[in-house]
Amino acid sequence: MKPYLVRAFSLATVLVLAGCLETMPGPDRPHRPRPPRPEKPAICTREYAPVCAVRGRKQETFGNACMARAKGYNVIGQGECRRGGR
């Protein structure tokens, strides 16, 4: 093989490997958190059939069950949520 081809191949290999290096966070390079993942896309109809839904201890009224489930809530009853419980 010709010497200039060996040098060119070696240089190309070094450049490719240098591009694959991952730098670790340090005092001069603070760790940057990853951006949040986008919410799951949901296609819900715009019918108005209110439901009361819960996630953890938080209750919320949604326009319909699909909208509640799309936000990660569990439907606990038909109609709007009432204060002091369903």
Q: Does the pLDDT at position 10 exceed 70?
A: yes
CATH number for the domain that contains residue 77? 3.30.60.30
Q: In sequence order, what DSSP letters do the residues of the chain get, joined into one string?
A: --HHHHHHHHHHHHHHHHHT--PPP-SSS---PPPPPPPPP---------EEEEETTEEEEESSHHHHHHTT-EEEEES--BTTB-
* pLDDT tens-digit series, residues 31-83: 677 777 666 677 899 999 999 999 999 999 999 999 999 999 999 999 999 87
- The tally of domains found in the chain comes to 1
Domain that holds residue 76: 44-86
Write down the pLDDT at residue 67. 94
Question: Is residue 66 in some structural domain?
Answer: yes
Question: Is residue 13 in some structural domain?
Answer: no
